Structure 1
Amino acid sequence: MISSRTIFFYIILCFALYIISPFFIIIILSIITAYAMHPFLENIRKIVKYKNISLFLLICWIFIPIYFLSILTYFECQNLASDFPKLQSAVSNAFIKINTYTPEFMINYNLQQYIQPATENFLVSAKLFLIEQIKIIAFGLPWFLFYFFLYGFTTYFILRDWDLFADKISKYIEMSSEYNKCIFNTTINGLKNSFNFLLFNYIFLAIVVGLLSYIVFSIVGLPYAILFSIVIAFITFIPNIGPWIFIALIGLLFGAFTNNTQGATIIIIYSLLGMIIFEYYIRPVFGGRAGNVYPLTTLFGLLGGYICLGAQGVLYGPIILIVAETFIKAHYKLKLKKNGR
């Protein structure tokens, strides 16, 4: 029979989870960040004696660049919105050149009179949409700063007490029954696998692809290289597709509007090589090794999480399915062990 104390405990626990539910995504991101930063903290502590100073240096090293990168992205969006008239002019000039090579069937049906206005109207709509998004970002900037600093402080305290948490969890597991030990160890291993997968397959690859894209765009002279590179880094989260189609489209538009065929060719070749190397070798091979999971588990976790839970499901989905797969593997091994196989 369940005691009243146990019932009271679970009621309080449910209320506590409800109160912190708006911050679940921040807490999970902070735990993943602390998990990734903990080895670096141990290395810094070999040089700096005091733990709080080591933590402060590490947090500054990670979060200050992220903060300034966010501000830089905002101003780049503003500059892009102000340059839309130049883009419209470039489109008009491009259509003048295209009209000299217009196929006969387009001339017969006078299709160019519909294509050019439609494209220019699309650019006007895109400009208005971008300006509206900039306004939304500007009005939401205080909330963004609040969540950003909350994320930083949460990461700081989790990282500071990481060893304490790990020690308490280990002691609790040791005091548990054999069955509960199996459950706890399996859950922890599943979380570690999911964190390793997320860190490598998304965070690490997003940074690498973003930096490579910025280098390529800067070499060919693409305007707003920083903004496009940041967007590409975010699109890298899409599995098996990634940002490569978007990069190829950037190359085609860059060549059409600037007549820089050499630069456009470099961007398109980069997109093709990136799709082959990253999506069909690095991501499945090294991502699977990092997370110790079957590739379809992460794929369905990401897509299913997004469909069921929205944008937050991109984070929740892989974690849930990776933990579930780890449970299944542990249960299978336990059954084999009991049967003496």
Structure 2
Amino acid sequence: MKDKNIKDIINYILVAILFILAFLIIYKVIFAIIYGLLLAYISYPLHKWLSNKTKSKFLSAFFVCVFVFAILLTLIIISIGTLFKQIIDIYLFFQKTDITKIFKEILPEFISSSEISENVASYLSSYVSNILASSLKQINEYFSNLPNLLIQLAVLIFTFFFSLKDGDVAIDYLKSIANFKKETEEKFLKSFKEVTNSVLIGQIFVGIIQGIAAGIGFFILGIQNVTLLTILTIIASMIPLIGAWIVWVPIDVYLFLTGRIAEGFGLLIYGTLVVSLLDNILKPVIVSKRTKINTGIVTIGMLGGYLLIGFTGFILGPLILSYVLLVLEIYKKDNYEEKKEVS
């Protein structure tokens, strides 16, 4: 083997090692980086307008970051505060009340046998206790994991800021590496924007529909503060890490605990079969129609993404599969054109 070939192999190995090390470094914060990039993409029109006014990309990126995070933090604080209050109210009610006794009083109306109703009451009481204990444990774990969350937030903010400030430079650099034809490059960027916009718009649109659907259910069942709960459900539905269930499930538990069994079962059925399923039904249809990608592929992307990385996968799964299909389509067209030119 020639010395040049040996040197090339060593260089390739070194480059591969560097890429592996780079991946390991960003692995733990990869989703913070992705969401920072998505926020930058969404906020870019505002940044572009503001940078033209201020004549400074730095100031524009700074003001956009402050504005966006002020809105997000306000919504998150209001949402978490309200939900936390619901959980505390349920917990205090549980501490002051004999839940088994309540179930024993209610169940005979539905179950004639006193022995069966007593056993069911004990089981339901134990089940509610376990759910409550599990919820409080998760809240405790959430706060104990606060340092890691703060690091993730810091990475997200830095990614968001520098993607706005230096995004054009990064895109030009990637273009130079990809070395596509001008026509191919324009097609790729256009399709990339269409896919990304479709997934993001689908997430927002479905979140609004889920919130309105939940609000209708709350109103019919006579639940108080319908407007506030509807807004909270809309916000929660738009965030893939949370979802509509985080609003209606605590309310449902509270209905059962306060003896409103009919309303509790009504909300349980409505929330499970209508509110929560809307996301899985509507989003693939919206994304596939806007991007002209098969609904089955979008659905597989959502479900596969969820199984791999949790709720974040509902957004990233369809995006990644769509990008793969996009790259294959561009490669297919370029390959066809090259063969046509040769012949």
TM-score bracket relative to the smaller structure: 0.7 to 0.9
C-alpha distance in structure 1 between counterparts of 2:320 and 2:154, whole Å: 27
Can you give the 5+ residue segments of structure 2 that lack an aligned partner in the other structure? none
C-alpha distance in structure 1 between counterparts of 2:287 and 2:16, whole Å: 38
C-alpha distance in structure 2 between counterparts of 1:25 and 1:72, whole Å: 24
State the 4+ residue runs in structure 1 displaced beyond 6 angstroms: 184-187, 234-238, 260-273, 275-278
Match of 2:224 among 210, 213, 221: 221
* Cα pair distance change 1:12/1:206, threshold 3 Å: same
* Cα pair distance change 1:261/1:57, threshold 3 Å: farther
C-alpha distance in structure 2 between counterparts of 1:322 and 1:284, whole Å: 12
Task: After TM superposition, list the pairs within 5 Å mapping 1:76-225 onto structure 2.
Answer: 76=82, 78-79=84-85, 80-86=87-93, 89=97, 92-93=101-102, 96-99=105-108, 101-104=109-112, 106-107=113-114, 110-173=115-178, 176=179, 191-203=192-204, 205-206=206-207, 209-210=210-211, 213=214, 217=218, 220-221=223-224, 225=229
**What residue is the counterpart of 2:283 in the other structure?**
283
C-alpha distance in structure 2 between counterparts of 1:114 and 1:266, whole Å: 24
Task: After TM superposition, list the pairs within 5 Å mapping 1:18-57 onto structure 2.
Answer: 18-57=24-63
Equivalent position SS for 2:28:
helix
C-alpha distance in structure 1 between counterparts of 2:80 and 2:180, whole Å: 54
Shift of 1:128: 1.8
C-alpha distance in structure 2 between counterparts of 1:90 and 1:292, whole Å: 56
Question: In the TM superposition, what whole-angstrom CA distance separates every residue of 1:183-224 from its partner, at most 9, and x where no partner exists?
Answer: x77775665455334312335533664577569758941599
Can you give the 5+ residue segments of structure 1 that lack an aligned partner in the other structure? none
Shift of 1:121: 1.6
C-alpha distance in structure 2 between counterparts of 1:257 and 1:75, whole Å: 22
C-alpha distance in structure 1 between counterparts of 2:47 and 2:239, whole Å: 30
* Cα pair distance change 1:245/1:231, threshold 3 Å: same
Shift of 1:113: 0.6
Q: Is the 8 A contact 1:190 1:322 kept in 2?
A: no
* Cα pair distance change 1:118/1:62, threshold 3 Å: same
C-alpha distance in structure 2 between counterparts of 1:90 and 1:236, whole Å: 36
Question: In the TM superposition, what whole-angstrom CA distance separates every residue of 1:202-259 from its partner, at most 9, and x where no partner exists?
Answer: 3553366457756975894159938973795268789xxx858995995697489475
Question: In the TM superposition, what whole-angstrom CA distance separates every residue of 1:49-87 from its partner, at most 9, and x where no partner exists?
Answer: 433332222212221232344444554454313532425
Bigger Cα displacement from structure 2, 54-63 vs 192-201: 192-201
Q: Is the 8 A contact 1:194 1:319 kept in 2?
A: yes
C-alpha distance in structure 2 between counterparts of 1:67 and 1:212, whole Å: 25
- Supply the AA of the counterpart residue of 1:150: V
Work out the number of aligned pairs and report it: 328
C-alpha distance in structure 2 between counterparts of 1:201 and 1:237, whole Å: 16
Q: Is the 8 A contact 1:210 1:230 kept in 2?
A: yes
Higher relative contact order (CA 8 A, sep 6+): 1
* Cα pair distance change 1:31/1:248, threshold 3 Å: closer
Q: Is the 8 A contact 1:77 1:227 kept in 2?
A: no
**What residue is the counterpart of 1:306 in the other structure?**
306
Shift of 1:336: 5.2
Equivalent position SS for 1:201:
helix
Q: Is the 8 A contact 2:234 2:244 kept in 1?
A: no
C-alpha distance in structure 2 between counterparts of 1:131 and 1:68, whole Å: 24
* Cα pair distance change 1:236/1:212, threshold 3 Å: farther
* Cα pair distance change 1:267/1:40, threshold 3 Å: farther
* Cα pair distance change 1:318/1:331, threshold 3 Å: same
Structure 2 length-normalised TM: 0.72
Q: Is the 8 A contact 2:33 2:155 kept in 1?
A: no
Q: Is the 8 A contact 1:31 1:155 kept in 2?
A: yes
Q: Is the 8 A contact 1:197 1:287 kept in 2?
A: yes
**What residue is the counterpart of 1:233 in the other structure?**
237
